Amino acid sequence: MGMVGSMRNGKPVETPLTYTLNLQTLSQSDDSEARGIADIISEIQGLKQLLRTNDPDAGPVRHSSLARTDVMALRNFIQSLAKSGKITADDLRELMYRHKGSKNLSEWISAIIPKYYGPDEPPF
């Protein structure tokens, strides 16, 4: 079903604009966890953009050790939030499915959900 069909049926339509507005709402929230989630999403978007960008003189950025360092720093940050209970397993699943991360990201999230939320918490 396309956007028009969804709108006719009263279903929400996700566009880059609605996504940006949702992210702005989170980042301006009085809730520190919501702001933290917005920061994580923004960082991930920045990293995804960085990985897609090619510098003709330097080759693909995705092979850069700086990009790998950034990814590891972000993963460590997400794990610290999970360990301290500042994000939920649902937040991680949202990151994995709604924001369409890589297979590598999905596998990593699937591995850390049981680690921080218990073996009975499904990664999906």
H/E element, 72? helix 65-83
Question: pLDDT at position 58, please?
Answer: 45
At 46, the amino acid letter reads G
Tens of pLDDT, residues 81-111: 888 888 888 888 888 887 666 788 888 888 8
Whether 55 contacts 64, CB under 8 Å: no
Cα 117 from chain centre:
18
Taking the whole predicted model, whether its pTM rises above 0.85 is answered as no
Interval 10-23 mean pLDDT: 62
